[in-house]
Amino acid sequence: MKLAVYGKGGIGKSTASCNISIALAKRGKKVLQIGCDPKHDSTFTLTGFLIPTIIDTLQSKDYHYEDVWPEDVIYQGYGNVDCVEAGGPPAGAGCGGYVVGETVKLLKELNAFFEYDIILFDVLGDVVCGGFAAPLNYSDYCIIVTDNGFDALFASNRIATSVREKSRVHPLRLAGLIGNRTSKRDLIDKYIEACPMPVLEVIPLIEDIRISRVKGKTLFEMAETDPSISYICDAYLSIADALLSEPEGVVPRELGDRELFSLLSDFYLTPENKNSNEQNVKEEPLDFFLV
């Protein structure tokens, strides 16, 4: 099974990806996580350091694939999850899709791409071009990480568009949304009512999630010494179980931009929602929605 995790930049995709990878490994699966971001920090909480990237390794070998060994690019992280960082082109040059393609090509050359039960692509930010959508070409399921706010759901809607387009020529489905770092899901529910898709789990906003990133440890590793956060790990295990059931998934029918703006801004402007969402309104001023 191949999974591609997408969502608005800074929404917590890498943290979610690492913990989902461990949850899948705890269910007895051999897992490879591939970071697809020039920051190459997707697997940081699994390994505790920034591992060398595929692109940097290939450059050091003058792109002679035969000189690259699995141990040059594949590093084992916590929970026996194997880790790869694709890296990225220089800023303002090159294409992210090319880097992903080279990564998959090298892993196939190393006979590694098909040795895993699960391959998880952790992909940067919003889908703004075909290059960043490239991991969808190789995936069975897309998972969208969002929160209960306008910007993240707007990005989710764009990702849904990419899934629909890619599903025309690839056996790709949307497994569902993960609500991340939120105590509420009312705006998420409003969105999925208009654009039906499953919600895999809602992860609350707790300080330990932020701390895990700084410490370079996953929540599963932190829970070994702090059992009070085990309930968060259970949420990731629930996501893993849902994925391993091989859900039918959906081909989403995204909303048009104007329709989405109207839907979400009307929600904020409705009197009964205005007070309950005061914090969200402060974070995302109403004049933004009315432009």
Strand order in the sheet with 75-76: 75-76, 82-85, 31-36, 118-123, 2-7, 141-146, 173-180, 199-203
95 among annotated binding-site residues: yes
154-179 average pLDDT score = 94
Is residue 66 over pLDDT 70? Answer: yes
| 99 within some domain | yes
According to the model, what pLDDT value does residue 211 have?
80
| 137 within some domain | yes
Q: What letters, b where the CB count within 10 A reaches 16 and e where it falls short, cover 98-115?
A: ebbbbbbebbeebebbee
| 274 within some domain | no
| 271 within some domain | no
Among all chains, which residue has been given the structure tokens 């990702």? 159
From CA 251, how far away is CA 142, in angstroms rounded?
10
- Could you report the per-residue pLDDT of 229-283, keeping only the tens digit for each? 999 999 999 999 999 999 999 999 989 989 998 888 887 777 566 555 545 444 4
Is residue 184 over pLDDT 60? Answer: yes
Task: List, by residue number, the catalytic residues.
Answer: 8, 13, 39, 126
153: nearest Cα among 232, 268, 62: 268
Question: Do the strands 75-76 and 173-180 form a parallel or antiparallel pair, or are they unpaired?
Answer: unpaired
CA angle 10, 99, 209 (to 5 degrees): 25
15 among annotated binding-site residues: yes
From CA 101, how far away is CA 144, in angstroms rounded?
21
According to the model, what pLDDT value does residue 153 have?
93
**Residue 11 sits in which domain range?**
2-262
For residue 259, give the amino acid letter: E
Does 234 or 113 have the greater pLDDT score? 234
Residue 4 phi, psi dihedral angles, 5° rounding = -125, 120
According to the model, what pLDDT value does residue 88 have?
74
- For the chain, the average pLDDT equals 87
Total domain count for the chain? 1
Is residue 108 over pLDDT 50? Answer: yes
| 284 within some domain | no
Is residue 290 over pLDDT 80? Answer: no
275 among annotated binding-site residues: no
Identify the CATH number of the domain in which residue 245 sits.
3.40.50.300
Does 168 or 215 have the greater pLDDT score? 168
Residue 2 phi, psi dihedral angles, 5° rounding = -120, 130
Is residue 94 over pLDDT 70? Answer: no
203: nearest Cα among 37, 11, 43: 11
The answer to whether the CB of 215 falls within 8 A of the CB of 173 is: no
| 207 within some domain | yes
Is residue 130 over pLDDT 70? Answer: no
| 279 within some domain | no
Length of the chain equals 291
Highest mean pLDDT range out of 95-104, 202-211, 277-286? 202-211
From CA 119, how far away is CA 236, in angstroms rounded?
16
Among all chains, which residue has been given the structure tokens 């990237």? 53
HSE (side-chain half, CA atoms, 13 Å) at 216? 8
From CA 92, how far away is CA 73, in angstroms rounded?
25
11 among annotated binding-site residues: yes
199, β-bridge pairs: 177
| 277 within some domain | no
Band (182; pLDDT cuts 50, 70, 90): confident
